[in-house]
Structure 1
Amino acid sequence: MFFTRNREKTPLDKIREELKKKSKNTFQPPHHLSLQDRKLLEKIRRETENLNLNNVTRTKAYLDFYLRYPEIKWAFLGHMVSRNGGWNMTDLKGEFLPKLLSKKERNSFFNFLERGNWLIFQDVYPQLLVYEESLRQNRPLFYLLTYLNISTFMETIWSHFWQNQDTYILCIALVINEQSYLHQRVIQHPVYQKEVLHKFEFFLQDLLSFNNILFPYGDGNLAGQTLHQFESLHERIMLGKRLYSVLFRNKDFLRQVVNWAKGHPHTGSRKDYWPDIFNHVKEGLPGLTYPLRLKGCKLRKGARRFYSPRLEHAWKNVLQPEAEKGDWFKDNQIVDYLVDDNNTVDGEIKHEYCKTLERLEVAALAKKTFNFLE
């Protein structure tokens, strides 16, 4: 007789089992909420709403949380990605895009970016606050997440993290959650499909810095990654995993990026990381034609800097409609993304980003010349 030895269950096996159980017990009776629980939920909703005013307030909130709880790595990854979201928003009022897109097109693009940024914050920040309160009370409070319309996937992951302190699994799970949460509400939303994604496919993929996620560090240095298929959920999750590798695999690099972030409060202007190239006020006389100013990541001698406004001067705060209800989690296979590939990713992006800027400058100049000749 042959006996097979039972393989010890891995953390991911346990997560799969727990999710499987939950999917079978859809009609579980709600957890009895105490008065203390109800007050806490109200406090969390109020604090989230107060900080969800605009990209600058959200981005700062993520960094502040990470500095209090550095084990929550997503908070810093979210901070850096949210900075990029702010730069994309102000680009719409900056040097190039007003020459390439109509006012209506730029407004549509901003609404798309702002809705996504707002939705992610109102989903993830309550999770962070529940974790913070769990630490204060020295007991897990993740049963409260369902009352905040958080996916059952994340309730399972947070409970796992409380027991195992696996920072990688938590961070990547939050990447999966936020991208899956956005997928139907923004990426596949028929309005954004029509007005943004299909209309600006060329701009998104080939022209805009929209697809470059930049991590500034040191003095004028940039690392990061590029996304080539924005509409693909798989590609966005894999981008998140690569960004994790760039940011967290090298402790010295992480220290430099964190120091940069602490020393450069987010304003939305690209001047934050590259004051040699960008300025938040317009330089030179309006209406003058200009030669190409950028060459090899540097301005030509005597050339004025590119205009990149602060968010507060570019866009007003937007009152968003309530988030659409519903749990995105349907398929256990999503857990496969939590496997740590242990990849080391080269974060070199400065050269590619400079090429993007050069293409934008050429396109804007060509459009201006074409309009002049018409």
Structure 2
Amino acid sequence: MFKPTRKHMRDLGRQLKHAPPLTDISKEDEKLIKQIRVDTSNNNQNNITRTKAYFDFYQKHPEIHWALLAHLVSRNAGWNMTDIKGEYLPKLLTHKEQVDFFAFLERGNWLIFQDAYPQLLLYEESKKQKRPLFHLLSQFQVSKFVRPFWESFWKQPSSRELTFALIINEQQYIEGRVVQDNQYKQTVLDTALFKLQNIFDFNHILFPYTTPLQKKTKLVGGTVHHFSSVEDRIIFGKGLYDLLFSIQSRLQQIITWAETHPHTGSRKDFWPMLFNDVKESAPGQVHELKGSPCSMTEPAARIYSPKLTDVWEDWIHRPPEAGDWCTNKKMLHHIKKPIKVLNENIQEVYCKTIEEIELAAFTKNKFFHKK
């Protein structure tokens, strides 16, 4: 496996400080830029289209590990979006909090795609033309941080290093535009997400897979404990990457699961025995668990987890805020920083979270007036 040397890191730092100027753009390049913008917009309609686009790209270019990681994380974003309109959260969040929370999740999902997908398409076109086209990244307002990594990958491929660079870039990209945005801080981070994150430890990322012998869906993943910290999100992202690609047999099982389970936004995608995209509980009632979600096989009624397109319309976004987050090379230390291994039993943790949210929703529905 390629490991960056000190000289390599110094060279990257120099490129960041003195980015090569953009030369004249040819008519062919202008045509390519226009097409990439159209393709990006067409695939950035909602969480379903984005998630599919990431996986389609990965299947064509499996050396770009980040695309698979982005696909799986984007699935989780979709599940969180539908949870807002699912069985329990409507009992815990006001209507305004529901809309604000969705807008927060959707904005981050949309921004990352519109920044990352042009990078992926430029790489794809570079392969077709057999020449690097990364000088065009600036035409898509992509941070100067990533160009040296793409150019380095072109010369001496390191899927790991490129993935870490893209994790850093995307988390920094949404930091000022979403996480630290005053509107989202007031309406989500200090209210809706605060309730869910601090009371229920809500921010789980799940990677489903099916074992060939047991034919049973299992989950691996981790929990973001401090979502508002960009440093923690980067460390967590690197840990997810390591978890995903560390065991080749499990990696293939995850890929096979993704191939055979198109993303709908419903958690029925991975646990149809526990979740259904049709509401089974009686109107006005809260679904009661009869045992641990991890141990149940035939629940009397499944938890409502709707398809995304059934509960949320496509969101109209304002253009992304201008500006390059990268003003120095201090983020380069995250490339070589040791991985923080994710070793929690996420399946057990997630089941406990379901139980806690179910109890809170049941209690509020029974003893308090709905807002």
Q: Give the TM-score of the pair, scaled to structure 2.
A: 0.93
Counterparts of 1:265-304 in structure 2, within 5 Å, are 265-288=262-285, 291-295=288-292, 297-299=294-296, 303-304=300-301
Give the percent of matched residue pairs that are identical in Structure 1 and Structure 2: 46
Residue in 1 aligned with 2:138?
146
Q: Distance in 2 between matches of 1:40 and 1:173?
A: 24
1:16, distance to aligned residue in structure 2 (A): 3.4
8 Å contact 2:208–2:220 — kept in the other structure? Answer: yes
Q: Distance in 2 between matches of 1:290 and 1:92?
A: 15
Q: Any unmatched runs of 5+ in structure 2?
A: 211-215
- Check 1:373–1:55 CA distance in 2 against 1; reply closer, same or farther (3 A cut): closer
Pick which of 182-191 and 297-306 moved more: 297-306
Pick which of 300-309 and 189-198 moved more: 300-309
Give the CA RMSD over aligned residues.
Answer: 2.1
8 Å contact 1:66–1:75 — kept in the other structure? Answer: yes
Q: Distance in 2 between matches of 1:247 and 1:275?
A: 23
Counterparts of 1:256-271 in structure 2, within 5 Å, are 256-271=253-268
Residue in 2 aligned with 1:162?
154
- Check 1:217–1:207 CA distance in 2 against 1; reply closer, same or farther (3 A cut): farther
Q: Distance in 1 between matches of 2:348 and 2:157?
A: 37
Q: Distance in 1 between matches of 2:229 and 2:356?
A: 25
Q: Distance in 2 between matches of 1:157 and 1:332?
A: 13
8 Å contact 2:13–2:329 — kept in the other structure? Answer: yes
Residue from 118, 126, 146 that aligns with 1:126:
118
SS at match of 1:282: coil
8 Å contact 1:293–1:304 — kept in the other structure? Answer: no
Q: Distance in 2 between matches of 1:236 and 1:23?
A: 25
Residue from 322, 327, 336 that aligns with 1:325:
322
Residue in 2 aligned with 1:6?
none
- Check 1:43–1:372 CA distance in 2 against 1; reply closer, same or farther (3 A cut): closer
Residue in 2 aligned with 1:211?
203
Q: Distance in 2 between matches of 1:227 and 1:187?
A: 14
1:205, distance to aligned residue in structure 2 (A): 2.0
Q: Give the TM-score of the pair, scaled to structure 1.
A: 0.92
Residue in 1 aligned with 2:223?
226
Counterparts of 1:165-184 in structure 2, within 5 Å, are 165-184=157-176
8 Å contact 2:222–2:342 — kept in the other structure? Answer: no
Q: Distance in 1 between matches of 2:222 and 2:359?
A: 23
Q: Distance in 1 between matches of 2:344 and 2:50?
A: 25
Residue in 2 aligned with 1:361?
358
Residue in 2 aligned with 1:4?
none
Q: Distance in 2 between matches of 1:342 and 1:199?
A: 32
- Check 1:33–1:300 CA distance in 2 against 1; reply closer, same or farther (3 A cut): closer
Pick which of 81-90 and 340-349 moved more: 340-349
Residue in 2 aligned with 1:20?
14
Letter in 2 for 1:336: H
Counterparts of 1:106-121 in structure 2, within 5 Å, are 106-121=98-113
- Check 1:233–1:62 CA distance in 2 against 1; reply closer, same or farther (3 A cut): same
Moved >3 Å (runs of 4+):
9-13, 206-210, 288-294, 298-302, 342-345
Q: Distance in 1 between matches of 2:75 and 2:106?
A: 12
- 1:244-303 deviations in whole A, cap 9, x for unaligned? 111001101100100000010000000000011100001143234654434252448652
1:343, distance to aligned residue in structure 2 (A): 6.1
- 1:82-102 deviations in whole A, cap 9, x for unaligned? 000000000000000100111
2:243 counterpart of 1:246 = yes
Counterparts of 1:176-195 in structure 2, within 5 Å, are 176-195=168-187
- Check 1:264–1:300 CA distance in 2 against 1; reply closer, same or farther (3 A cut): closer
- Check 1:299–1:349 CA distance in 2 against 1; reply closer, same or farther (3 A cut): same
- 1:326-355 deviations in whole A, cap 9, x for unaligned? 111122121111116366543631000000
- Check 1:270–1:207 CA distance in 2 against 1; reply closer, same or farther (3 A cut): farther
SS at match of 1:200: helix
8 Å contact 2:54–2:67 — kept in the other structure? Answer: yes
SS at match of 2:146: helix
Q: Distance in 1 between matches of 2:278 and 2:24?
A: 55
2:83 counterpart of 1:91 = yes
Q: Distance in 2 between matches of 1:244 and 1:16?
A: 25
SS at match of 1:213: strand
SS at match of 1:199: helix
Pick which of 328-337 and 225-234 moved more: 328-337
- Check 1:40–1:201 CA distance in 2 against 1; reply closer, same or farther (3 A cut): closer
- Check 1:300–1:263 CA distance in 2 against 1; reply closer, same or farther (3 A cut): closer
- 1:209-266 deviations in whole A, cap 9, x for unaligned? 7410000000220000111000000100000111011100110110010000001000
- Check 1:373–1:171 CA distance in 2 against 1; reply closer, same or farther (3 A cut): closer
